[in-house]
Chain A
């Protein structure tokens, strides 16, 4: 187990290096120049050159990258070119919002997806199964910005049950905090559950054909026990994989939802940094998102081991 753990951990470093190098390259390929953005209408060639030199923008890209990397290794992610805010603070301030949103969205997605998957697997081929798989498909086709506006219209404007926008820190008002996350998390969950439900449903249908299930039935075990204990666990490998990938995606992928619901998360920070050519913030956010993605997938790999002992023992 320890060796498995250590080997997985070693993958983390090259992935983070590659991701940060790629963002650095892509960011430097974007049209637009930070020195120009700062100087604006008074940019003369001399002033531009002076400012670029002052900010180190005139160095070759590999030097800038190494310089940045050296800082990161010492825990210094730099300061925003534009606002003077420390990158580490900017990211850490907003990260909890995005993580809470991600967790709530995933939990809601699973809460809708798993029961429906079990129901459809048991009744596979029936009218109920056809209805819900069709519904999932229709649901998947709705873009999140539309779902968001519909939810706001219904729950915030018409019924006035939940806030349309904004966020309260959990430490100030726990209930208010959760209330402010319901609609955005639900919006994300609407895009999550169809995929979760469909993979679990088909895996479960396959599992239910297995001999040991027939055996369990023959022994007279209660159907609920067969489904939840004997069938669910072996059927959930793909589900866990998808959940892991989704979580990674949601860390930085909630851009639209964070914008519509005005949540101060990492997605909004990223969009702002791109518009303002604030590369140093961009780099910091991407580094955190990449690290989060890798760590979540690492946890998923660990979970495989728990769910399927054959993987743990390296025989799969």
Chain B
């Protein structure tokens, strides 16, 4: 939508404009300036074949340089980005997207349906062995019907596909095919997209600098001239850099609760908080004794005091979870089947089981992992269960999960616009990440039904029934809901909700 549209005076245009402005914050956006963002991690790169899966740092950088077909609005509903409109077949297995015309990649290559197809084909190509292919396994093919029409054909129906194409991740960001082919191994550090910012320079481990794309399709945007991303791995010095003005905005999480509290009481700072869907979760391997007995599993869940855990680990910031969806999800359950927190009953169940309860739990060898491990150990000891802590480093953690070499393991259901993808993967019989080794035809049926039902109310019923089964069978348990944080100077404006923990500064401005 352009400003010249207003001068045309057509009613339709004015109405559309009014709607656009109503959605935007009341303050007028200011042009110019530079924004420095402090991240936790080094950015590994942008080529899906190289990095496999984008981490949050890569997501944040990608949201500036690269774009997705669809974005999420403030209510978590899909809105146009590189795609203007979409429609689906009746069985939700074929989705057609109309693309935005006259968009060019930073290297001048035209953005079109062939480019979208090329990106997905490259990720799915079995020769490329891309870890990223797992996340789009449901896509059978992407075809370019004409220059600006692209058709996704799916294996299993997805009622909410546009919302799933919104994250700036390894699968959904569209890269310039010409640049990828020309640069080969070097593309990973030289991404070329259609986004509002162009990569200017990147010193590994120090800073990635992007500058305003003068040819951006959304005229008048972006507002900033330059954004600098800096990996600052230490939480204390990251916060110090915000206080001292070296950064304007920093990524944060609950393990630095003290800093978040301090920022809330500081007049020069603001804390951006997003209560997302999903939760920090744990899977119990139901094939190994004593965890094959449902009484033991229930006892372990009932022994937890989440409020106390939150107090001990995050100064009370973390919000207890009783289901895998969380307050940020559109799935709201009257009855999610959560077991009561009742150590006495838990101890009684362990006694009833009769044999000694001893098992191992897998944690990452990080300060966060160590702290959590000790809390669990204490809580379970009080009800008569012996948990042995096993710490492994981050590279070993996922293989142990996929090979089912654990008794109990920590996992996460990340904030996502639709529960289907993760719920199906985590709980349907035979899925590679159905970590509990648990199979239940009733659960499978509900998961199947929920993914082909377009009506939200009916899907909610399904998902609540699913939650009741999981909670009662105690195959997985949830500890805290996902809350995502960023801390910023008060002058930083225009950062949308932190969907999936991604700080999207593509439309930010400085007051």
Chain A residues packing against B (C-beta within 8 Å): 31-33, 36-43, 47, 50-51, 54, 79, 82-85, 90, 93-94, 148-149, 152-153, 156-157, 160, 163-167, 169, 259-265, 268-269, 272, 275-277
Contact with A along B122-148 (1 / 0, CB 8 A): 000000010101100100000000000
Q: Is A40 within 8 A of B237, CB to CB?
A: no
Give B residues with C-beta under 8 Å from A: 38, 42, 44-45, 47, 50-53, 129, 131, 133-134, 137, 185-189, 203-207, 230-234, 236-238, 240-241, 243-246, 392-396, 398-399, 402, 432-433
* Complex Cα gap A84–B402 (Å): 26
A149:B230 contact, CB within 8 angstroms: no
Contact A149-B395, Cβ < 8 Å, known A40-B52, A83-B189: no
CB distance from A184 to the nearest CB of B (A): 10
B131 CB contacts on chain A under 8 angstroms = 38-42
Do B134 and A262 touch (CB < 8 A)?
A: no
Contacts of B393 in A (CB 8 A): 31-32, 275
Residues of A within 8 Å of B129, CB to CB, are: 38-39, 47, 50-51, 54
In the complex, A222→B133 CA distance in Å?
A: 79
- B contact residues around A275 at 8 Å (CB): 393-395
Using CB atoms, name the residue of chain A closest to B49.
A84
A5 and B137 CA atoms in complex are apart in Å by: 63
> Is there an interface contact between A165 and B398, defined as CB atoms closer than 8 Å?
no
Q: Which 7 A-B pairs have the closest CB atoms?
A: A264-B205, A264-B206, A42-B134, A84-B185, A164-B240, A32-B395, A40-B131
Closest to A85 in B: B189
**Chain B residues closer than 8 Å to A47, beta-carbon distance:** 129
Contact status A40-B134, CB under 8 Å:
yes
User: Which of B42, B399, B433 interacts with A36 by CB under 8 Å?
Assistant: B399
* Minimal beta-carbon separation of A24 from chain B (angstroms): 18
CB <8 Å contact, B205 and A42: no
Q: Are A31 and B236 in contact (CB under 8 A)?
A: no
Inter-chain contact A83/B51, CB cutoff 8 Å:
yes
Among residues of B, the one whose C-beta sits closest to the C-beta of A42 is: B134
Q: Which residues of the partner chain B approach A277 to less than 8 Å between Cβ atoms?
A: 395
Q: Are B232 and A40 in contact, with the CB atoms below 8 A?
A: no
Q: How far is the CA of A157 from the CA of B131 in the complex (A)?
A: 43
From A272, which residue of chain B is reached at the shortest CB distance?
Answer: B42
Known: A264-B203, A275-B393, A277-B395. A83 touches B44 (CB 8 A): yes
Residues of B within 8 A of A272 (CB): 42, 205
- A selection of 26 A-B contacts at a CB cut-off of 8 Å is A31-B392, A32-B399, A41-B398, A41-B402, A50-B129, A83-B45, A84-B47, A84-B186, A85-B189, A93-B204, A94-B204, A164-B243, A165-B240, A166-B207, A166-B241, A169-B203, A260-B234, A260-B237, A261-B237, A262-B232, A264-B204, A268-B205, A268-B233, A269-B204, A272-B42, A272-B205
Known: A84-B189, A156-B240. A166 touches B396 (CB 8 A): no
Among candidates B47, B241, B432, residue contacting A164 with C-beta atoms closer than 8 Å:
B241
* CA distance in complex: A165, B232 (Å): 8
Residue of A nearest to B232 (CB): A262
Give CA–CA (A148, B232) in the complex, Å. Answer: 14
- Asked whether A94 and B402 contact (CB < 8 A) given A41-B433, A85-B189, A275-B395, the answer is no
User: With the chains together, A47 CA to B133 CA distance in Å?
Assistant: 13
**Are the C-beta atoms of B189 and A37 separated by less than 8 Å?**
no
A149 to B237: give the CA distance in the assembly, Å: 7
When distances are taken between beta carbons in the complex, the residues of chain B under 8 Å from A79 are 185
Q: Which residues of A contact B52 (CB under 8 A)?
A: 38-40
In the bound assembly, the distance between CA atoms of A267 and B237 in angstroms comes to 17
- Cβ B234 vs Cβ A259 within 8 A: yes
> Which A residues are CB-close (under 8 A) to B206?
166-167, 262-264
Hey, which chain B residues are within 8 Å of A160, CB to CB? 244-245
**Chain B residue at smallest Cβ distance from A31:** B396
Q: What chain B residues lie within 8 Å of A90 (beta carbons)?
A: 204
**Chain B: minimal CB distance from A137 (Å):** 26
CA distance A153 to B236 in the complex (A): 9
Per the bound structure, the CA–CA distance linking A164 and B240 in Å amounts to 6
Q: Which residues of B contact A276 (CB under 8 A)?
A: 44, 395
**Distance of A38 Cα from B131 Cα, bound (Å):** 6
In the complex, the chain B residue whose C-beta lies closest to that of A33 is B399
Contacts of A41 in B (CB 8 A): 131, 134, 398, 402, 432-433
A156 to B243, CA, bound (A): 9
If A94-B204, A164-B241 are given as contacts, then 20 extra A-B residue pairs at C-beta distance below 8 Å, sorted by A number, are A32-B393, A33-B399, A37-B398, A39-B129, A41-B398, A42-B131, A54-B129, A82-B44, A82-B50, A94-B205, A152-B237, A160-B244, A165-B38, A165-B232, A166-B207, A166-B232, A167-B206, A262-B234, A263-B206, A272-B42
Contact indicator B392/A165 (Cβ below 8 Å): no
State whether A32 touches B234 (Cβ < 8 A). no
Q: How far is the CB of B138 from chain A (nearest CB, A)?
A: 13
CA A47 to CA B127, docked complex, whole Å? 10
Task: Indicate if the CB atoms of B395 and A42 lie closer than 8 Å.
Answer: no
B241 touches A165 (CB 8 A): yes
Interface pair B50/A84, CB less than 8 Å apart:
yes
The closest CB in chain B to the CB of A39 belongs to: B131
A164 touches B189 (CB 8 A): no
Q: Which residue of B lies closest to A50 (CB)?
A: B129
Q: Closest Cβ of chain B: how far from A84's Cβ, in Å? A: 4
In the docked arrangement, what's the CA distance between A47 and B432, Å? 14
Task: Name the residue in A90, A93, A94, A157 with the highest tally of chain B Cβ atoms < 10 Å from its Cβ.
Answer: A157
Q: How many angstroms between the C-alpha atoms of A37 and B392 in the bound complex? A: 14
Expressed in whole angstroms, the Cα–Cα distance for A169 and B206 within the complex equals 10
Cβ A149 vs Cβ B188 within 8 A: no
Task: Output the nearest chain A residue to B129 by Cβ-Cβ distance.
Answer: A51
CA distance A134 to B134 in the complex (A): 61
Smallest CB gap from B131: residue in A: A40
Which partner residue on chain A sits nearest B135 by CB separation? Answer: A41
Question: What A residues does B42 contact at CB under 8 A?
Answer: 268, 272
Chain A positions within 8 Å of B243 at CB level: 157, 164
Nearest A residue (CB) for B186:
A84
The distance in angstroms between the C-alpha atoms of A96 and B280, with both chains bound, is 41
Q: Which B residues lie within 8 Å of A259 (CB)? A: 233-234
Enumerate chain A residues within 8 angstroms of B45, measured Cβ to Cβ: 82-84
- Write the nearest CB–CB distance from A270 to chain B, whole angstroms: 11
B205 touches A269 (CB 8 A): yes
- Cβ-closest chain A residue relative to B245: A160
Output the nearest chain B residue to A41 by Cβ-Cβ distance: B134
A260 to B230, CA, bound (A): 13
- Give Cα A276–Cα B44 distance, bound, in whole angstroms: 10
Cβ contact within 8 Å between A40 and B398: yes
Residues from chain A with a CB closer than 8 A to the CB of B241 are 156, 163-166, 262
Cα distance A250–B405 when bound, in Å?
A: 39
Q: Which residues of A contact B236 (CB under 8 A)?
A: 149, 152, 260
Chain B residue numbers with a CB within 8 Å of A265 are 205
Q: How far is the CB of B231 from chain A (nearest CB, A)?
A: 7
Cβ of B203 and Cβ of A153 under 8 Å apart? Answer: no
The reply to whether A153 and B240 contact each other, CB–CB distance below 8 Å, is yes
In angstroms, how far is the closest chain A Cβ from the Cβ of B434? 11
